[in-house]
Structure 1
Amino acid sequence: MARAEELRLNELSPRAAAAAWRERFATTELRAFAESSPAKLIAIGLILLSLCVSAGIVTAMAVTDRQHALDVLLDESEPDAYSAQRLYTSLSVADASAGTAFISGGLEPKPVRDRYNQAVGQAAAELVVQSTGGDADVDAELRTGIATGLPVYTGIIETARTNNRGGQPVGAAYLSEASNLMQKTVLPMAQELQEHRADAITATQRNHVRPPWPAILLPLLVVAALIGAQLFLFRRWHRVLNFGLLLATVTMVALLSWTVVAGFISAVDTTHARDQGSGPTAALTESRILAQQARTAETLKLVRRDTSADYDRTYDQAIEKLRNILSGYASDAPGAAEVKTASAALDRWRAAHQRMNDALSKGDFIGAAAVATGPGVVEATAQTDDLDRALGDGIADTRNQLRADTSHAARTLDLLGPGALVLSTAAAVLIACGLWPRLREYR
């Protein structure tokens, strides 16, 4: 075989033969070098260095993404959800106040008129401050629908008021039409918008409590690779310890421990924010909405002088749901004291509502109107105001808890991102320092 190759080389020109011999020696030397100990040391070093750098970058990116998500929740998602809740509540208050104004007949009392105007103005303001977060297309369509429906609603209300002041019975029909527009069109859109905003918070919290597996598994792989490399060096060179690789292992273990501990604390804070913040906030928000729905049904019954059970059914259903939420509210949750106040106000309101129904059953419309809209401290207006105020204060408490826990969850990760890059870089340097003395032995 060798003889045949030599004959073939003799057939080549001197330059081609020389090139062929160089290629043969280069291939032989490369194969020999690849099987040598220095090549194996270099290969081990490159693999370990690549793993360390990759682990640092992946961990830093994962931490940055998670922290950014929490910052978006604090700066955009949560304020938008709160604004959407205020939008829905303001629209409900406006509808209930419009009905209350008609019960008095003629020119409505100034406090009632002011309450209506304030609610409409608040709703318009909340539409302006809403951002394009969440599902931008759907939410933009909802905001547009609310913004379009609100002036139509207020226009019908003004027409109803004009007729009511002139003593025209058609005013009640206009009021019913406006309330139907609000209850069947505008409020459902506001509720859907509010649910979208709340879902954005829930989605962020759900994603955050999941472990960042790439940022955990990759440093763990690096630690395993470093231990394997040290065992290889021990078997090959019978050196008990390589201080460079040992310190690099300790460094990566520190990074892994920091990632797990900081991630765990951040996840616990986020879980607490969900259980003691966003969860109770959703319950109290629903309670506030139910209270306004019941109040609207109560006032419309008087305006329409409707003796059928339709308005009573709406009122009873809303009150029953509201009572169940308040009675099931955790006693150790934020806003628990306000919930007790709201429950007491609800009981007094139900008693006032019963007095109103008793008066209506006797044909005493004036007495029923006095109970429903009178200024007395035991009448329905005072109780609904106390109920709404207590629920609003409870929402403020739960919101503060949500924001405090979320902020702490984000701040827990503050140093982990840059720390991961520093520790992984330090581990890479220590790896180089640990392998370099072994390479120098082959000079």
Structure 2
Amino acid sequence: MSQQTSALTLRAPVDTRSERSEFLRSTPVRLLAVGLLVVATLVTTALVTTLSVSDRQRTLELLLARTEPLSDAAQNLYVQLSVADATAATAFLSGGLEPGDVRGRYTDSLGAAAGEVVRASTGLASDDATSRQLLATISTNLPLYAGIIETARTNNRVGNPVGSAYLAEASTLMQNTILPWAEELHAEKSGDVSDAQRQFATPPWSAFVVLGITVLVLVGAQMFLSRKTKRTVNVGFAGATVGVVLLLGWMLVAGLISSTATDRALVRGAEPLDLLTTSRILAQQARADETIGMTRRGGFADYEKSYSDAVSGLADTLGTLAHDDDTHSPRMDDARALVSLWTTSHDRMNASLDGGDFDTAVTIATGTAAGDSSDVFGRLDSALVEEIEASRASLRDDVQRASGVLAGLTVGTGIVCGLAVLAVVGGMWSRIREYL
């Protein structure tokens, strides 16, 4: 009796493991496992695709709402500061009480620069400590610059020679301190625009791969069902497959259009915009050197060299834009012609200075007659501004297109994947129920 009990005791675990193994290999359990695998794949697909699309769309919308306007504010800040400095020097060339339009242009430029500081400050991210520090130092030094200019202007009105020394001090503060900070801010914000576009200039491959894997899993699951149940088509799985294939097609079309528009915004918007902004900054630098140099005869050679370097850089940058099929325009040809005309006017000014005719040199530098430096520079700056606005509009239109084509895809992905899960559950349940 004891031996039988012992035998029974030994056989019980063997029977239990065998039953468990047989149960796990049974068709209903395998069907359930396949169903869970497909559902898990669909849920993963929904999460990956939704996160990929929403992240892309959110970044593009942020680019339109904050990053690009901040870059534009930084560019305008630099230009307005440079205009103020060049205009202040122009006032001294006139001698005594400066003309009202020159005074007004200086005041407007300084006020516009202060406005751009405020505009840029309101668009900064909370963790952008570097940009905040740059703006803080610029805003702190602007009143100091304005105060020195007023001291210089007061002395100039009464004919005190020390006025030019104060002008030189103010210009040194602007050229060596304030403008480099503004240029650093512009370079940083312009880089942010390009970086954001480069990040999404390629299609969302991860979402495509996940969707492709999901289609393969669904097809494989249907083949398994067909083999196990001897039925060619499972309506639930077929419906889920059709839905995911349509979603993949939607994703392909939207993703490719979005990436193409983003790439176009980079090639025809951000990159030309950066070069055009650099061109305008170089033009402003050259104009400031031209006018300030005449007020400081002792340091004229230094300003002349700085002017030549700026004009040379301007000509090279415009040449790069003009020879690029994506950025060439008749206005660009006009700008290059104006640079040549400006150089001719500047040479005439220097010839007058070499001949001791300071009044004629001042007239050439500040006069409004056709061909004078002031006239040529004004037309050049207007042409650059128009090109900048055109490039900026192109950039924003393409980014808007890249973001808009993704509208509805996030919600659509959730709905399609949700319906696909329900279809899979329904199709699998109808097969499992046959074994219950």
CA distance in 1, matches of 2:291, 2:261: 44
Name the residue aligned to 1:4: 6
Bigger shift: 231-240 or 124-133?
231-240
Which one of 235, 238, 243 corresponds to residue 243 of structure 1?
235
Name the residue aligned to 1:386: 379
Bigger shift: 155-164 or 248-257?
248-257
CA positional deviation for 1:332? 4.8
Bigger shift: 374-383 or 143-152?
374-383
Matched, 1:181 2:205: no
Name the residue aligned to 2:80: 90
Name the residue aligned to 2:317: 325
Which one of 333, 339, 358 corresponds to residue 346 of structure 1?
339
Give me the TM-score of the superposition, normalised by structure 1.
Answer: 0.92
Matched, 1:418 2:418: no
CA distance in 2, matches of 1:134, 1:260: 36
CA positional deviation for 1:165? 1.1
Matched, 1:53 2:55: no
Give me the TM-score of the superposition, normalised by structure 2.
Answer: 0.93
Note if contact 1:134-1:196 (Cα within 8 Å) is conserved in structure 2.
no
Post-superposition Cα deviations, 1:284-303, rounded to whole Å, max 9, x if no partner, equal: 10111001111111112210
Write the mapping of 1:301-380 to structure 2, written as runs, cut at 5 A. Answer: 301-306=293-298, 308-330=300-322, 332-333=325-326, 336-380=329-373
Name the residue aligned to 1:78: 68
CA gap of 1:8–1:36, structure 2 versus 1, over 3 A, is closer
Note if contact 1:211-1:263 (Cα within 8 Å) is conserved in structure 2.
yes
Which one of 101, 120, 128 corresponds to residue 91 of structure 2?
101
Note if contact 1:209-1:268 (Cα within 8 Å) is conserved in structure 2.
yes
CA distance in 1, matches of 2:183, 2:430: 69
Post-superposition Cα deviations, 1:266-286, rounded to whole Å, max 9, x if no partner, equal: 000000001111111111101
CA positional deviation for 1:104? 1.0
CA distance in 2, matches of 1:2, 1:414: 75
Name the residue aligned to 2:428: 435
Write the mapping of 1:267-286 to structure 2, written as runs, cut at 5 A. Answer: 267-286=259-278
CA distance in 2, matches of 1:53, 1:248: 13
Matched, 1:229 2:253: no
Post-superposition Cα deviations, 1:319-364, rounded to whole Å, max 9, x if no partner, equal: 0111111122146546823323322322222111111000000111
Name the residue aligned to 1:260: 252
CA positional deviation for 1:174? 1.1
Matched, 1:290 2:292: no
CA positional deviation for 1:234? 3.0
CA gap of 1:359–1:134, structure 2 versus 1, over 3 A, is farther
CA positional deviation for 1:3? 3.7
CA positional deviation for 1:256? 1.8
CA gap of 1:8–1:357, structure 2 versus 1, over 3 A, is closer
Letter in structure 2 aligned against 1:417: T
For 1:76, what is the secondary structure of its paired residue? helix
CA distance in 2, matches of 1:408, 1:298: 43
Name the residue aligned to 1:13: none
CA distance in 2, matches of 1:100, 1:135: 41
CA distance in 1, matches of 2:58, 2:96: 56
Note if contact 1:291-1:319 (Cα within 8 Å) is conserved in structure 2.
yes
CA positional deviation for 1:375? 2.7
CA gap of 1:427–1:8, structure 2 versus 1, over 3 A, is closer
CA distance in 2, matches of 1:90, 1:208: 33
For 1:168, what is the secondary structure of its paired residue? coil
Aligned residues: 431
Name the residue aligned to 2:153: 161
Note if contact 2:321-2:328 (Cα within 8 Å) is conserved in structure 1.
no
CA distance in 2, matches of 1:106, 1:349: 27
Note if contact 1:335-1:398 (Cα within 8 Å) is conserved in structure 2.
no
CA distance in 2, matches of 1:113, 1:339: 31
Note if contact 1:335-1:397 (Cα within 8 Å) is conserved in structure 2.
no
RMSD of aligned C-alpha atoms? 2.2
CA positional deviation for 1:164? 1.1
Unmatched runs of 5 consecutive residues or more in structure 1: 10-20
Matched, 1:62 2:52: yes
CA positional deviation for 1:311? 1.5
For 1:210, what is the secondary structure of its paired residue? coil
Note if contact 1:208-1:270 (Cα within 8 Å) is conserved in structure 2.
yes
CA distance in 1, matches of 2:63, 2:166: 42
CA positional deviation for 1:7? 6.3
Note if contact 1:142-1:193 (Cα within 8 Å) is conserved in structure 2.
yes
Taking only the aligned residue pairs, the percentage that are identical comes to 41
Note if contact 1:335-1:395 (Cα within 8 Å) is conserved in structure 2.
no
Note if contact 1:334-1:401 (Cα within 8 Å) is conserved in structure 2.
no
For 2:185, what is the secondary structure of its paired residue? helix
Letter in structure 1 aligned against 2:380: L
